[in-house]
Chain A
Amino acid sequence: MNKHPVSLTVNGDQYDLLIEPRKTLLATLRDTIGLTGSKEGCSTGDCGACTVIIDGKAITSCLMLAVSANGKEITTIEGLSSNGHLHPLQQGFIEKGGYQCGFCTPGFIMASKAYLDEIPNPTEAELRHALGGNICRCTGYTKIIEAVMSAAEAMRNA
């Protein structure tokens, strides 16, 4: 199959790639670039484990073709901490026990970041609604919500 030139900026690094048009952004991030933090849980955009941030929006990268992401700036879970410091969301998930198996965690953290960047002070009900596109099967969500609420507070006070 013919490959297309695709240029992506991922976590600040530029990648100039030749990609088959049928490859998803998720497959490209994981298999071509080697950033495996974004997870494949359903391949249909329903579970949110593959969530990355593109232009400030949370995107399920399993539903976006790599060629459609040409020229975009993408942030994945690997690009969230800076200078060795964890992002408040990462800190929140650790302190509140917001993960168990951890497979959904990168997606939850990225979806939460995109949301909190836009809505820094949500109510619990708003947050529960906003994270409705991400599935966690281990925690029952109680500690995830606690983690994100505590991170939101830390981010507001930062």
Chain B
Amino acid sequence: MSEYSVVGKSVPRVDALDKVTGAAQYGADVHRPGMLYGKIVRSKHPHAYIRGIDTSEAEKLPGVRAIVTQADVKTGRSVFATDKVLYVGEPIAAVAATDPDIAEEAAELVKIDYEELPVVQDVLEAIKPSTPRLHNDDTKDGPARRVIKARLKKLSDDESQDHSAEIEELTAKFESLEDEVYYNISAETHTEAGDVEKGFAESDIVVEDTYVVPRVHQTYMEPHVSIAEADSSGKVTVWASTQGPFAIRSGVAGTLGIPLTQINVIPTTMGGGFGGRFGVALTHVPAVLLSQKTGRPVRVQMTREEEFVDGRPAPGCVIKLKTGATNDGRILARQALAFWDSGSVSGASIGSTIRVRGVYKIPNLKVDAYGVYTNKSGTTAYRAPGTPQVAYAGESQLDEIARKIGMDGVEFRLKNMREEGDQIPAGAKEPKVGYKETLKAVADAAGWWNREKGPNQGWGVAIGDWTNGCGPGGIYISVHEDGSVRIFHGSIDITGTDTAIAQIVAEVLTVPYEQVTITRGDTDSAPYATGSGGSVVTFTMGNTAKLAAEDTCQRILALAAERLNTSADNLELKDGKVSVLVQDPPRSISLGELAAYSLSTTGGPIVGKGSFARKPSTPALAAQIAKVEVDPETGNVRVLKMVSSQDVGFAINPMAVEGQIEGGTVQGYAWAMMEEMQYDEKGNVNPGFVDYRVPTSADLPTVQSVIVEVPAPNGPFGAKGVGEPPITPTLATMANAVVDAIGVRITELPIKPEKVIDALKQNGK
């Protein structure tokens, strides 16, 4: 039995009625009087010089009110392409018209004169000297050249001895490593712990493979949209469907040189983000520019096709991975070389390459990662950015080793998992975590220990780790004379975080959940709140809510002490009323009575506030087991069972937490089996749901979620962020299950039926 009365319960969400009746107002549901409709003019070529932009025909179309290009961006910050385009879909101009169809027609009438350039879409091609450069001729050194370079520097700095012979030898070797001169590099990271060469030498078994993970789209169901309204005083209002209204405010301010105080971002209900809805470039900035130019409200709404060509998806990745272990199942060394497909700009996820270490005691680790420019749109975060890609490689390779040494996959992982106090490779000491509990929980729930399989069936296990982010937030609470409690804040709820906040406040103030309401402010009215990404909200805003409720509680007790003529420490807040602890006969006052009383005192209304910056988070594990059946005729892989466990610290709303686990698992399943943004020399070739398949209810069975609770010391009531972890293992879970079924490992995702057929042929079946 829980010691709590509101947290830990699956109460219905605070926004339930709006969401099931169609009343919730999403971005495109905002309609302003006199509103115009914007449309972006996009590049039709993946790589080309722009020799001219002619807007004259478009301007003549009745109903067109304005066309903006880079010339309209007074700050000079890059909003539209001017002399060169780097991908199909890149914005070149934007049109505003009185009707969305007229805007679309006008956008097509803008004539762009292109001079086409050679195109590069593959990361391993893009790094070669022979390929077209997107930005410049700069080069970076590969891992072996870096090692030699460092050694050379050391030798030449050492004046105590003559190293000229070695220097000459190393220099020759350095120069001979021509294929390690990388072009089109957007970013690089390098991490090392221990000595991998020594670790591999001591290993009984070393496995090396290259894993390829495709670029996938977050595919939030609501396409990007923005409504901007610039008034004659220069004040700009932006209705934004976004994960971070305050990030939109600063982004628009910075891009267009508008003072923060002159921008108000009004967040709408948001139709999914998964990391992809923080930026201002796609719709917000063009909408503001068009509104400033026309003096009218302007809505810019992307189509699904535009989402695919100019969204900011998750990067694909090529990972060369090598792992060494002993025959008794101890992992000794791991080395990774990753190339991330950044697209046209330096992008997200490369920093997560280090997560290829997993939650294992790997004493020797070396990770080299490069971001690579290609002729595609830029990338951004997607649910645990970067981790599903590297966890797929890492957990696939562990599966290979377990098979080769004949050890059970769960036992092998348990044997190598870190516990509290263990050294994290290239990191600090491990805090108290629930890694083993979480893996054991999924194994037990899935029936792993006495699993059976029929012909063409297979079982797969994998894990993934993630640590929720943290950021600043503020919350106000007021108590009203009917006893109701109102929360005011500025963070975005996607998945039920408002409900968690309301539950926390109700718990602390000992009132029924139904008595608590919550209001979201805009950036003019609400205190700052960190963006809703990085599994951050329940941790950050939950802590903030708890602080605000405790502050409110102090105010309540002080008022009650005055009213009941006793001291605050002789009072207790329980069941929504304040009672005198030591008093005969017992006396008490309800929150409503107290709130009414507060209006007639010099103290005034009951208001509490919470303000929170950051506290260390605790890592969380997700562990999954899948059972699949492969149809050898069609190559189709059917999931028979999918069990997903996660250490959530403490589930403030178990139903909402299960929803996160189920949803993340299915997104991971889709990445493993179905989704892939495909490109050729003409750009993205599958910009729609017919060719870019996402799962429907028909593709999957019920996902069984298993909640594990190892409390986080700094989380509200022990809660950890829960949104991101469940996607991290699934790519490998599925890949490992397919290997178990067909006996061949497919190292290039997604595992589409044709690849399964090829693999079966390769295996002589």
Contact = CB atoms under 8 A, between A and B. Distances in A.
Contact of A133 (B664, B666, B667, B696): B696
Contacts of B705: 142
Interface string B214-245: 00001111110000000000000000000000
Contacts of A89: 20
B659 A139 contact: yes
A56 to B, nearest CB: 20
A53 B58 CA distance: 38
A39 B26 contact: yes
A131 B697 contact: yes
Contacts of A132: 696-698
Contacts of A86: 17, 20-21
Contacts of B16: 94
Contact of B22 (A42, A100, A106): A106
Contacts of A104: 221
Interface residues of A, number: 61
B697 A141 contact: yes
Contacts of A49: 221
Interface string A123-158: 010011101111111111111110000000000000
A76 interface: yes
B426 interface: no
Contacts of A138: 221, 272, 494-495, 659, 663
B25 interface: yes
Nearest to A103: B271
Interface string B653-689: 0011011001111110000000000000000000011
Contact of B659 (A41, A100, A105): A100
Contacts of A133: 696
Which of B10, B21, B270, B658 has the largest number of chain A CB atoms within 10 A? B21
B690 interface: yes
Given A31-B31, A46-B689, A101 B222 contact: yes
Interface string A61-90: 000000000000000111011000010011
Interface string A1-37: 0000000000000000000101100010011001111
B694 A137 contact: yes
B15 interface: yes
Among A27, A46, A131, the most chain B Cβ lie within 10 Å of the Cβ of A46
B21 A90 contact: yes
Most buried by B among A42, A93, A106: A42
B44 interface: no
B702 A142 contact: yes
B688 A42 contact: yes
Given A132-B697, A135-B689, A141-B700, A94 B304 contact: no
Interface string B13-40: 1011111111111101101000000000
B17 to A, nearest CB: 8
B696 A76 contact: no
Interface residues of B, number: 58
B689 A44 contact: yes
A59 B26 CA distance: 22
Contacts of A127: 697
Contacts of A117: none
Query: Among the interface residues A38, A40, A142, which one has the most CB atoms of the partner chain B within 10 A?
Result: A142
A43 interface: yes
Contacts of B656: 97
A135 B22 contact: no
Given A101-B270, A138-B272, A138-B495, A41 B20 contact: no
Given A37-B23, A103-B222, A103-B271, A47 B663 contact: no
Contact of B221 (A76, A93, A96, A136): A136
Q: Do most interface residues of chain A lie in helix, strand or loop, or is the interface mixed?
A: loop
B458 interface: no
Contact of B690 (A39, A44, A76): A44
B496 interface: yes
Contact of A140 (B19, B100, B700): B700
B702 A97 contact: no
Contacts of B100: 27
A94 B13 contact: yes
A27 B655 CA distance: 35
A118 interface: no
Contact of A37 (B21, B219, B663): B21
Contacts of B209: none
Contact of A143 (B12, B28, B659): B659
A131 to B, nearest CB: 5
A11 to B, nearest CB: 11
Nearest to B24: A102
A135 B655 contact: no
A100 B495 contact: yes
Given A140-B662, A142-B703, A143-B662, A97 B694 contact: no
Contacts of A44: 304, 688-690
B617 interface: no
B271 A39 contact: yes
Contacts of B658: 97, 142-143
Contacts of A30: 28-29
13 contacts: A36-B28, A38-B22, A76-B22, A78-B23, A80-B21, A90-B20, A93-B20, A94-B17, A99-B19, A124-B702, A128-B700, A140-B664, A145-B702
Interface of A: 20, 22-23, 27, 30-31, 34-44, 46-47, 49, 76-78, 80-81, 86, 89-90, 93-97, 99-106, 109, 124, 127-129, 131-145
The 6 lowest CB-CB distance pairs between A and B, nearest first, are A37-B22, A103-B271, A140-B666, A46-B689, A77-B22, A102-B19
